[in-house]
Amino acid sequence: RLVNPVEEVRRPRVVTPFPAPKIMDLPQFQGEHRESLYWGTYRPQVYLGIRARTPWSLLAGLMWIGVKDGRYAMRHVCQDSDELSTYGWTHHNGRDFGHQILVDQDMTLATSFLKSKVDGSGYGGDWAVRIDVQSKQSERSEDMLRTAHIFFYMADEDGHALSLSTDNLDVHEGSLLASGSRMDVGGWQLHLKSMDDLEVHYSGFKTNHIHNLSELVQENLGAQARKYGRLQLSDTSDGSPNILVFQVSARIPFKTDIVFVSGTGLQSSGVEERVNSLTGTSLTGQLKEKQREFDTKFEKSFNLADKLDSESMIAGKAAIGNMLGGIGYFYGQSKISLPGNPNLGGLNNFISYWPAELYTAVPSRPFFPRGFLWDEGFHQLLIWRWDVHISLDIIGHWLDLMNIDGWIPREQILGAEARSKVPEEFIPQHPTNGNPPTLFLALRDIVHSLKQNKFISTESKEISSFLERAYVRLEAWFQWFNTTQSGKEMSSYYWHGRDITTTRELNPKTLSSGLDDYPRASHPSEDERHLDLRCWMYLASDCMHSIAEVLDKDTKPGKDYGATAKLLSDFQILNQMHLDDKYGAYFDFGNHTEKVRLHWKENMVGHNHATRELVREVLERPELRLVPHVGYVSLFPFMGRIIPPESWILEKQLDLISNQSILWTDYGLRSLSKTSSLYMKRNTEHDPPYWRGPIWMNMNYMILSALHHYSKEDGPYRDKARAIYDDLRGNLIRNVVRNYHQTGFLWEQYDQRKGKGKGARVFTGWTALVVLMMAEAYGES
C-alpha cells in the first residue's frame, strides 16, 4: 500500500491548533510575571493542594482523619459526602497569601499559605503552610481532648525520587523532612517546625497514579491498624519513592508550620534563616500583614469602605477569596467526540486534543473543579478588578485552546486528576457545540477602562499588547459563531447541537447555551432563532469593534464589527424577529407546541413482563412561532441594553421583572416565569428542573447591571428602573449573605420560594458576583 507521508502526519482538523503565535508566549507572561505565579494553591479539587504552573510538577497537599459518630474517614479530595460544615478561603490574594477555614465535626482546621522570594531562593521562591488544629468548642475539659492525625505529602508528578530525612527529628528546633532536586527549582527541602508535642510518622510510595493517593494512604493505615491496632503510617518506603507522606499526630489544639525552600543546592542559600523566617512568630507576623493588605485591597478594589455591614463584608471577602483561591492549573488532553466517524463506536468515538495547559478559576471545588468556558467570563468580571495580570493570563490560556476552526472546547477536563471526577460519558467535547462567548464581557470592561485611562501605564501597555496578539483569535472565535451557529434568516442565530431524535425529554436540552434545560422550541430545527445567542453576538461584535478601535485596525470588508453590532442591535429588526407585541416580551422563535407532556409508557417484555418508561407525548402539531416562555432568555435584549430608554417595551420589561407572579421573588429573579408551561417541570425521569425556576446569580448580575444602566438614562422609566434596581440588589445580596452565614457556603442556585441555597455547594464561581453587586460595579457598554 502506498502511503502519503504528508497524510500520515497530518492531524485531523478538529485537533489542529489555531495557526497563530500563542498568547501565552508574549514577553509579558514570561520573566517576573511567570515566576511570581509559579507556586500556588492551584489544586482546587483537594482541601489544600499546592503545585507549580508546570505540566509535571511537585505537588503538596493535606489529608486528615475525620471522625464522625466514632467512625474514621480520610479527608483529602473535596467531597460533599465528607459533610464539612464549612470550608473555604476566607482570604486569598491569588498570588502569595491565603487563609482557609475547614470545620469537620468537632475539629476546626485553619490552613494558611504564604509565598516568599528572597536572595538564595530558587525559581519561584519558597513557601510555607501553617496548619492550626483547634477543637470547635473552645472550652473543653482536658480529658476530652483527643488526638488528631493530619498528613502532609509531597509528590513528584515527573516520577523523580524524593529523599527522606527522618532521623533525629526535633520538631521544636525545626527539622528537615524531605529533599530533592528538580530542573525547575534546583535543590529543595521540606522542613517542619512546631512548638507543640507532635509525633511524626511517614510512608513513601512509588507510583505514577498520584490521583489515587488517598487510597494508598488509607491502605497503608488500614494494614497497620489491623496488625498493630494503631493509626500510624508504616514508617517504611518503597525504593526511590516519588511520594512522601508525613503523618503528624498530636492532641488538639496544636499548630505546625511546614516550609518548602528551593535553590538549596547553592552554597549561599541561607536555608536556616529562610526556614526561621517562614515559621513561628515571624510567620505569624507576615500572615497578619498579608491579611491586612488583603482587607485594604478588598475595600479599595471594590470601593466598599463604609458601604457594607460586617456580615456582608465577611461573605464578600469569602466570595472573592474563594474565587482567587479556587484558581487552578491543569494540564492534559481533552477528548473530542467525532460523530462522523463510523469506524469507531460508543465511548471510544473520540480523539485527543493536543496536550495543553489551562490556568483557570473553577465553578465549584467539590463538584466541578475544572474549567468551563462561559463560567470563566463571569469569573473574570470579578478577577480583572482585583488583578488584571491574573485575568489576562487566564483569558490568554483559554484563547490558546482554540483550534484552527476558531472553536474552544466548553468543558476542560485535563489530566487524570480532573478526569477522575467526571463520568465517562460526559468527558468528550463536541466540536459542533459552542458556549456563550462571555470572555467578551470581561474584555469589554477591560477595554472600556483602558480607553478611560484607568490603568497605570505598565498595565495599559500589557493590555494593549495582549489585545494585539489576541485579536486574530478573537476574530476567529467570532467567525466560528457567526458561521457555524447562524440561522436561516439573515442575522439570526441558534444554538446547534440540540437532540432532534430524543423521545424522553420534555423539551430537548440546549447544553451549549449554558442554560441547559431552559425551555426552547419544542421541536429543534433549522428554523430556530435563539434570542440569547443573538444578543451574545451583539456583545461580541460590539466588543470586537471597540478592540479594533483601540488597536487602530482597518475595517476590512466582511470584518466591519461596528456594522455587525449595529445590525444586531437594530431595534426594528430585533422586534420583527423576536417581539410578541401584544405581550411586550421577547421570545425565541421555532417549531413549537405548548401541548407536550411526559407520560409513563408500558413496554411488554416477553409474555407477562412489562417495563415502564417515561416518554414525551406531543398532543398537537408544532408550528413555526414565537416560543412563549418568559424568563432569563426573554430578558436578553434588556440585558444587552438594546431597548431605547423611551420605548414602551422597556416599561413592559420592567413589569415582567417586578411582577411577583412572573419573575420577581424576594431573593432575586426566577429563571423562568411562574406562568410558563414548563415552570419547575422535570425534563426526564432523571432530570429535575434546573434553569426552570431557581435563581441564578450570573443572570441576575446581568439584569441588575441593565437596571442600573436604565436608572441613569434619561427617559420616562428612569425612576421605575431605579426603584426596581434598589430592591433587586438588596434582595440578592441579603439572600446570598444570609445563606452564607446560615450554611457556611455559597451555592450554585437559590430556591425561588424560600431563597434557600441549592444545587452544588461551595459554588464559588459566578455566585461570587455578589461582590460586584455590593460594589455596584457593572461596567459600561
| Burial class of 333 by CB neighbour count within 10 A (0 to 12, 13 to 18, 19+) | middle
Q: Which of residues 684-723 bind ligand 6A9 (CB under 6 A)?
A: none
Determine the angle formed by the axes of helices 697-710 and 373-386, rounding to 10 degrees.
60
Q: For residue 372, what are the β-bridge partners?
A: 411
Give whichever of 397 and 509 is closer to ligand 6A9, judged by the CB atom.
Answer: 509
Helix (H, G, I), strand (E, B) or coil at 680: coil
Q: Which of residues 336-365 bind ligand 6A9 (CB under 6 A)?
A: 363
Give whichever of 586 and 691 is closer to ligand 6A9, judged by the CB atom.
Answer: 691
Total residues binding ligand 6A9 (CB under 6 A): 11
226 and 234 Cβ atoms separated by less than 8 Å: no
Q: How far is the CB of 596 from ligand 6A9 (least distance, A)?
A: 22
Give whichever of 422 and 624 is closer to ligand 6A9, judged by the CB atom.
Answer: 422
Give whichever of 167 and 425 is closer to ligand 6A9, judged by the CB atom.
Answer: 425
Q: How far is the CB of 251 from ligand 6A9 (least distance, A)?
A: 38
Q: How far is the CB of 104 from ligand 6A9 (least distance, A)?
A: 22
Q: How far is the CB of 485 from ligand 6A9 (least distance, A)?
A: 17
Q: How far is the CB of 551 from ligand 6A9 (least distance, A)?
A: 30
Rounded to whole angstroms, how far apart are CA atoms 411 and 260?
33
Rounded to whole angstroms, how far apart are CA atoms 474 and 431?
17
Q: Is residue 584 left, alpha or beta, with left meaning phi > 0 and alpha meaning psi from -120 to 50?
A: left
124 and 184 Cβ atoms separated by less than 8 Å: yes
Site string for ligand 6A9, 478-517 (x = CB under 6 A): ------------------------------------x-x-
Q: How far is the CB of 765 from ligand 6A9 (least distance, A)?
A: 6
Rounded to whole angstroms, how far apart are CA atoms 419 and 416?
5
Rounded to whole angstroms, how far apart are CA atoms 578 and 635?
11
Give whichever of 152 and 518 is closer to ligand 6A9, judged by the CB atom.
Answer: 518
Outline where DSSP puts E strands in 161-277: 163-164, 175-182, 186-193, 199-205, 236-237, 243-251, 254-262
Site string for ligand 6A9, 514-543 (x = CB under 6 A): x-x---------------------------
Among 35, 158, 387, 516, the active-site one is 516
**Sign of torsion over alpha carbons 280, 286, 292, 294:** negative
Rounded to whole angstroms, how far apart are CA atoms 761 and 739?
11
Rounded to whole angstroms, how far apart are CA atoms 181 and 156?
10
**Sign of torsion over alpha carbons 535, 539, 541, 545:** positive
Give whichever of 120 and 514 is closer to ligand 6A9, judged by the CB atom.
Answer: 514
Rounded to whole angstroms, how far apart are CA atoms 312 and 770?
10
Whether residue 516 lies in the annotated active site: yes
Reduce the secondary structure of 723-765 to three states and give it as a string.
Answer: HHHHHHHHHHHHHHHHHHHHHCCCEEEECCCCCCEEEEECECC
**CB under 6 A: which stretch of 178-186, 418-426, 593-601, 767-775 binds ligand 6A9?**
418-426
Give whichever of 124 and 326 is closer to ligand 6A9, judged by the CB atom.
Answer: 326
Give whichever of 188 and 368 is closer to ligand 6A9, judged by the CB atom.
Answer: 368
Q: Which of residues 739-768 bind ligand 6A9 (CB under 6 A)?
A: 765
* ∠ Cα 541 631 500 (to 5°): 80
Give whichever of 363 and 628 is closer to ligand 6A9, judged by the CB atom.
Answer: 363
Q: 302 — phi, psi (to 5°)? A: -115, 15
Rounded to whole angstroms, how far apart are CA atoms 657 and 646?
17
24 and 402 Cβ atoms separated by less than 8 Å: no
Q: Which residue in 144, 344, 422, 618 binds ligand 6A9 (CB under 6 A)?
A: 422
330 and 358 Cβ atoms separated by less than 8 Å: yes
488 and 526 Cβ atoms separated by less than 8 Å: yes
Q: How far is the CB of 483 from ligand 6A9 (least distance, A)?
A: 23
Q: For residue 653, what are the β-bridge partners?
A: none
Give whichever of 189 and 337 is closer to ligand 6A9, judged by the CB atom.
Answer: 337
Task: Find the Cα–Cα–Cα–Cα dihedral 578, 580, 584, 586, rounded to 10°.
Answer: -30
Q: Which residue in 81, 139, 343, 426 binds ligand 6A9 (CB under 6 A)?
A: 426
**CB under 6 A: which stretch of 6-14, 399-407, 421-429, 568-576 binds ligand 6A9?**
421-429
Give whichever of 122 and 369 is closer to ligand 6A9, judged by the CB atom.
Answer: 369
Give whichever of 61 and 765 is closer to ligand 6A9, judged by the CB atom.
Answer: 765
Whether residue 748 lies in the annotated active site: yes
Rounded to whole angstroms, how far apart are CA atoms 455 and 449?
7
Q: Which of residues 2-61 bind ligand 6A9 (CB under 6 A)?
A: none
Q: How far is the CB of 535 from ligand 6A9 (least distance, A)?
A: 16
Q: How far is the CB of 366 from ligand 6A9 (least distance, A)?
A: 10
Give whichever of 154 and 770 is closer to ligand 6A9, judged by the CB atom.
Answer: 770
> Count of CB atoms within 10 A of residue 643's CB?
23
Q: How far is the CB of 423 from ligand 6A9 (least distance, A)?
A: 5
* ∠ Cα 336 342 344 (to 5°): 60
Alpha helices in 487-593 (DSSP H): 531-550, 561-568, 571-578
Length, in residues, of the chain: 781
Among 257, 517, 748, 751, the active-site one is 748
| Burial class of 297 by CB neighbour count within 10 A (0 to 12, 13 to 18, 19+) | middle
Q: How far is the CB of 271 from ligand 6A9 (least distance, A)?
A: 43
From residue 71, give the alpha-carbon distance in Å to each of 104, 226, 252: 13, 15, 18
Q: How far is the CB of 121 from ligand 6A9 (least distance, A)?
A: 37
Rounded to whole angstroms, how far apart are CA atoms 420 and 133?
29
Rg for the chain, CA atoms, rounded: 28
Q: Is 586 in the site for ligand 6A9 (CB under 6 A)?
A: no
Q: How far is the CB of 375 from ligand 6A9 (least distance, A)?
A: 5
Site string for ligand 6A9, 360-399 (x = CB under 6 A): ---x----x---x-xx------------------------
780 and 356 Cβ atoms separated by less than 8 Å: no
* Positions marked active-site: 516, 748
Contact residues: ligand 6A9, CB under 6 A: 363, 368, 372, 374-375, 422-423, 426, 514, 516, 765
